[in-house]
Amino acid sequence: MENNNEIDINNSKIVEKDSQNLAEKFAQSVVRKNVFAKLPRGAKINGVEIDWRTSGYWNYGPNKIESFNGTFNWLQGNIQDSQDELPELVNSHMLCINRTVNNEKNKIISINFFQDDKVDRRAYSTTQIQYEFPKEEAIRFIEEVSKNPDLLEEFYQTTFVELDSTNEHPGIRRVKADGFYLITESYIQEIVKMEYSLSSSRKNKIKEFFNNLKKYHYKNGPYGSGNPFKPRF
Protein backbone atom coordinates (compact mmCIF):
# COMPACT_ATOMS: atom_id res chain seq x y z
CA MET A 1 0.00 0.00 0.00
CA GLU A 2 1.41 3.42 -1.02
CA ASN A 3 2.31 5.99 1.61
CA ASN A 4 -0.11 8.93 1.20
CA ASN A 5 2.38 11.36 2.79
CA GLU A 6 4.98 10.38 0.21
CA ILE A 7 2.48 10.95 -2.61
CA ASP A 8 1.63 14.40 -1.21
CA ILE A 9 5.33 15.33 -1.00
CA ASN A 10 5.97 14.18 -4.57
CA ASN A 11 2.93 16.09 -5.86
CA SER A 12 4.09 19.23 -4.02
CA LYS A 13 7.51 18.97 -5.68
CA ILE A 14 5.89 18.65 -9.10
CA VAL A 15 3.68 21.70 -8.48
CA GLU A 16 6.68 23.68 -7.19
CA LYS A 17 8.74 22.77 -10.26
CA ASP A 18 5.86 23.73 -12.55
CA SER A 19 5.61 27.09 -10.77
CA GLN A 20 9.33 27.72 -11.25
CA ASN A 21 9.13 26.88 -14.95
CA LEU A 22 6.07 29.07 -15.47
CA ALA A 23 7.64 31.95 -13.53
CA GLU A 24 10.72 31.81 -15.75
CA LYS A 25 8.60 31.76 -18.92
CA PHE A 26 6.55 34.75 -17.79
CA ALA A 27 9.73 36.57 -16.75
CA GLN A 28 10.99 36.23 -20.32
CA SER A 29 7.79 37.89 -21.57
CA VAL A 30 8.27 41.05 -19.50
CA VAL A 31 8.85 44.07 -21.73
CA ARG A 32 9.81 46.49 -18.94
CA LYS A 33 9.80 46.50 -15.15
CA ASN A 34 10.09 49.07 -12.37
CA VAL A 35 10.30 49.36 -8.59
CA PHE A 36 8.61 52.33 -6.92
CA ALA A 37 9.53 52.35 -3.24
CA LYS A 38 11.51 53.77 -0.42
CA LEU A 39 14.64 51.63 -0.31
CA PRO A 40 17.50 51.59 2.20
CA ARG A 41 21.07 52.44 1.30
CA GLY A 42 22.83 49.34 -0.01
CA ALA A 43 19.73 47.71 -1.51
CA LYS A 44 20.29 46.05 -4.87
CA ILE A 45 18.11 45.44 -7.91
CA ASN A 46 19.21 42.31 -9.73
CA GLY A 47 22.69 42.57 -8.25
CA VAL A 48 23.23 46.28 -8.94
CA GLU A 49 23.30 48.63 -5.95
CA ILE A 50 20.69 51.36 -6.24
CA ASP A 51 21.46 55.03 -6.70
CA TRP A 52 20.39 55.98 -3.19
CA ARG A 53 18.89 59.48 -2.95
CA THR A 54 18.15 60.71 0.56
CA SER A 55 15.11 59.09 2.16
CA GLY A 56 12.36 59.63 -0.40
CA TYR A 57 10.22 57.44 -2.61
CA TRP A 58 11.57 56.88 -6.12
CA ASN A 59 11.16 54.92 -9.32
CA TYR A 60 14.28 52.78 -9.18
CA GLY A 61 13.75 51.05 -12.51
CA PRO A 62 15.51 49.41 -14.12
CA ASN A 63 13.00 50.76 -16.69
CA LYS A 64 10.65 53.73 -16.82
CA ILE A 65 6.97 52.76 -17.05
CA GLU A 66 4.10 55.15 -17.71
CA SER A 67 0.76 53.79 -16.55
CA PHE A 68 -2.74 54.71 -15.44
CA ASN A 69 -2.11 53.43 -11.92
CA GLY A 70 -2.77 56.82 -10.31
CA THR A 71 -6.26 55.72 -9.30
CA PHE A 72 -4.94 52.62 -7.58
CA ASN A 73 -2.21 54.70 -5.95
CA TRP A 74 -4.98 56.87 -4.50
CA LEU A 75 -6.64 53.76 -3.06
CA GLN A 76 -3.43 52.49 -1.50
CA GLY A 77 -2.70 55.94 -0.08
CA ASN A 78 -6.11 56.03 1.60
CA ILE A 79 -5.49 52.60 3.11
CA GLN A 80 -2.19 53.93 4.45
CA ASP A 81 -3.94 56.95 6.00
CA SER A 82 -6.49 54.67 7.75
CA GLN A 83 -4.17 51.74 8.45
CA ASP A 84 -5.17 51.38 12.11
CA GLU A 85 -8.74 50.75 10.97
CA LEU A 86 -7.84 48.64 7.90
CA PRO A 87 -5.18 46.22 9.20
CA GLU A 88 -6.35 43.31 7.02
CA LEU A 89 -5.62 45.36 3.90
CA VAL A 90 -2.22 46.54 5.14
CA ASN A 91 -1.33 42.90 5.81
CA SER A 92 -2.30 41.74 2.32
CA HIS A 93 -0.62 41.95 -1.05
CA MET A 94 -2.56 43.32 -4.03
CA LEU A 95 -2.25 42.43 -7.71
CA CYS A 96 -3.55 44.87 -10.30
CA ILE A 97 -3.83 44.69 -14.10
CA ASN A 98 -4.43 47.87 -16.09
CA ARG A 99 -3.91 49.36 -19.53
CA THR A 100 -0.75 51.15 -20.61
CA VAL A 101 -0.57 54.81 -21.57
CA ASN A 102 0.62 54.58 -25.18
CA ASN A 103 0.43 50.95 -26.31
CA GLU A 104 -2.88 49.15 -26.64
CA LYS A 105 -1.06 45.89 -27.35
CA ASN A 106 0.42 45.79 -23.82
CA LYS A 107 -0.84 45.71 -20.21
CA ILE A 108 0.66 46.79 -16.90
CA ILE A 109 0.63 44.32 -14.03
CA SER A 110 1.59 45.67 -10.62
CA ILE A 111 2.23 43.94 -7.31
CA ASN A 112 1.31 46.35 -4.53
CA PHE A 113 2.09 45.98 -0.85
CA PHE A 114 3.15 47.79 2.29
CA GLN A 115 6.59 47.82 3.88
CA ASP A 116 6.91 47.81 7.65
CA ASP A 117 7.88 50.86 9.72
CA LYS A 118 11.57 49.96 9.77
CA VAL A 119 11.65 51.53 6.31
CA ASP A 120 9.70 54.68 7.16
CA ARG A 121 9.28 55.36 10.88
CA ARG A 122 6.15 57.44 10.25
CA ALA A 123 3.96 54.58 9.04
CA TYR A 124 3.76 51.38 7.07
CA SER A 125 4.53 52.61 3.56
CA THR A 126 3.26 51.81 0.07
CA THR A 127 5.38 50.06 -2.54
CA GLN A 128 4.67 49.06 -6.13
CA ILE A 129 6.42 46.60 -8.44
CA GLN A 130 5.39 47.17 -12.07
CA TYR A 131 5.67 44.94 -15.13
CA GLU A 132 4.73 45.70 -18.71
CA PHE A 133 3.59 42.60 -20.62
CA PRO A 134 2.21 41.89 -24.07
CA LYS A 135 -1.56 41.89 -23.62
CA GLU A 136 -2.05 38.15 -24.21
CA GLU A 137 0.72 37.19 -21.80
CA ALA A 138 -0.61 39.55 -19.12
CA ILE A 139 -4.05 37.96 -19.32
CA ARG A 140 -2.54 34.47 -19.23
CA PHE A 141 -0.42 35.44 -16.22
CA ILE A 142 -3.51 36.57 -14.29
CA GLU A 143 -5.26 33.31 -15.20
CA GLU A 144 -2.33 31.23 -13.96
CA VAL A 145 -1.81 33.04 -10.64
CA SER A 146 -5.55 32.78 -10.00
CA LYS A 147 -5.20 28.99 -10.23
CA ASN A 148 -1.88 28.87 -8.35
CA PRO A 149 -1.36 31.95 -6.11
CA ASP A 150 2.17 30.88 -5.13
CA LEU A 151 3.20 31.48 -8.74
CA LEU A 152 3.09 35.21 -7.97
CA GLU A 153 5.87 34.82 -5.40
CA GLU A 154 7.93 32.64 -7.74
CA PHE A 155 7.59 35.28 -10.45
CA TYR A 156 8.51 38.16 -8.12
CA GLN A 157 11.61 36.34 -6.86
CA THR A 158 12.61 35.42 -10.42
CA THR A 159 12.30 38.96 -11.77
CA PHE A 160 13.87 40.78 -8.80
CA VAL A 161 16.54 38.55 -7.32
CA GLU A 162 17.41 39.33 -3.67
CA LEU A 163 15.34 42.52 -3.63
CA ASP A 164 13.77 41.51 -0.30
CA SER A 165 15.58 42.40 2.91
CA THR A 166 17.38 39.54 4.70
CA ASN A 167 19.88 39.20 7.54
CA GLU A 168 22.63 39.30 4.90
CA HIS A 169 21.60 42.39 2.93
CA PRO A 170 19.19 45.39 3.07
CA GLY A 171 16.20 45.61 0.77
CA ILE A 172 12.43 45.76 0.61
CA ARG A 173 10.61 44.76 3.79
CA ARG A 174 7.30 43.48 2.40
CA VAL A 175 4.69 43.00 5.09
CA LYS A 176 4.34 39.28 5.65
CA ALA A 177 1.07 38.33 3.91
CA ASP A 178 -0.94 35.14 3.48
CA GLY A 179 -2.39 36.08 0.10
CA PHE A 180 -3.37 38.79 -2.37
CA TYR A 181 -6.42 40.60 -3.69
CA LEU A 182 -6.80 40.69 -7.46
CA ILE A 183 -7.98 44.00 -8.95
CA THR A 184 -8.80 43.78 -12.65
CA GLU A 185 -9.65 46.62 -15.02
CA SER A 186 -13.38 46.17 -14.46
CA TYR A 187 -12.89 47.32 -10.85
CA ILE A 188 -10.91 50.45 -11.68
CA GLN A 189 -14.06 52.51 -12.33
CA GLU A 190 -15.37 51.55 -8.90
CA ILE A 191 -12.20 52.97 -7.38
CA VAL A 192 -12.67 56.16 -9.43
CA LYS A 193 -16.18 56.55 -7.93
CA MET A 194 -14.70 56.22 -4.44
CA GLU A 195 -12.11 58.84 -5.32
CA TYR A 196 -14.88 61.39 -5.91
CA SER A 197 -17.02 60.38 -2.94
CA LEU A 198 -17.28 62.32 0.31
CA SER A 199 -14.14 61.89 2.41
CA SER A 200 -16.23 60.91 5.43
CA SER A 201 -17.58 57.83 3.64
CA ARG A 202 -14.42 56.65 1.86
CA LYS A 203 -13.19 54.34 4.59
CA ASN A 204 -16.44 52.38 4.62
CA LYS A 205 -16.52 52.30 0.82
CA ILE A 206 -12.99 50.87 0.77
CA LYS A 207 -14.02 48.17 3.24
CA GLU A 208 -17.06 47.32 1.14
CA PHE A 209 -14.97 47.27 -2.04
CA PHE A 210 -12.55 44.69 -0.67
CA ASN A 211 -15.32 42.65 0.95
CA ASN A 212 -16.61 42.09 -2.58
CA LEU A 213 -13.22 40.97 -3.88
CA LYS A 214 -11.85 37.45 -3.67
CA LYS A 215 -8.62 36.99 -1.74
CA TYR A 216 -6.27 34.39 -3.17
CA HIS A 217 -4.39 32.61 -0.39
CA TYR A 218 -0.81 31.39 -0.74
CA LYS A 219 -0.45 27.67 -0.13
CA ASN A 220 3.21 27.91 0.91
CA GLY A 221 3.10 31.41 2.44
CA PRO A 222 3.05 33.76 4.14
CA TYR A 223 5.58 35.70 2.07
CA GLY A 224 7.52 38.83 2.99
CA SER A 225 10.41 39.74 5.28
CA GLY A 226 8.64 42.63 7.04
CA ASN A 227 6.71 42.54 10.30
CA PRO A 228 2.90 42.25 10.12
CA PHE A 229 1.03 45.44 10.94
CA LYS A 230 -0.58 45.71 14.37
CA PRO A 231 -3.15 48.48 14.96
CA ARG A 232 -2.19 50.98 17.64
CA PHE A 233 -5.73 51.05 19.08
What was the pLDDT predicted at 95? 96
pLDDT above 90 for 5: no
**Neighbouring C-beta atoms of residue 28, cutoff 10 Å:** 10
Phi, psi of 97 (to 5 degrees): -120, 135
Nearest to 181 by CA among 136, 155, 142: 142
Q: Treating both helix axes as pointing N-terminal to C-terminal, what angle do 70-81 and 185-195 enclose, rounded to 10 degrees?
A: 60
Q: Before 222, cis peptide (omega within 30)?
A: yes
Query: Under 8 Å CB-to-CB from 120, ≥6 apart: which residues?
Result: 38, 55
pLDDT tens column, 192-219: 888 877 677 788 899 999 999 999 999 9
Kind plus residue range of the DSSP H or E element containing 211: helix 199-211
pLDDT above 70 for 1: no
Work out the average pLDDT over 51-67: 78
Q: How far apart are CA 96 and CA 112, in angstroms?
A: 8
pLDDT above 60 for 57: yes
Contacts 24+ apart (CB under 8 A), 211-217: 213/181, 213/182, 213/183, 213/187, 214/181, 214/182, 215/92, 215/179, 215/180, 215/181, 216/145, 216/146, 216/149, 216/179, 216/180, 216/181, 216/182, 217/149, 217/178, 217/179
Work out the average pLDDT over 60-74: 80
Contact 35, 60 (CB under 8 A): yes
Nearest to 79 by CA among 210, 221, 212, 177: 210
What was the pLDDT predicted at 10? 45
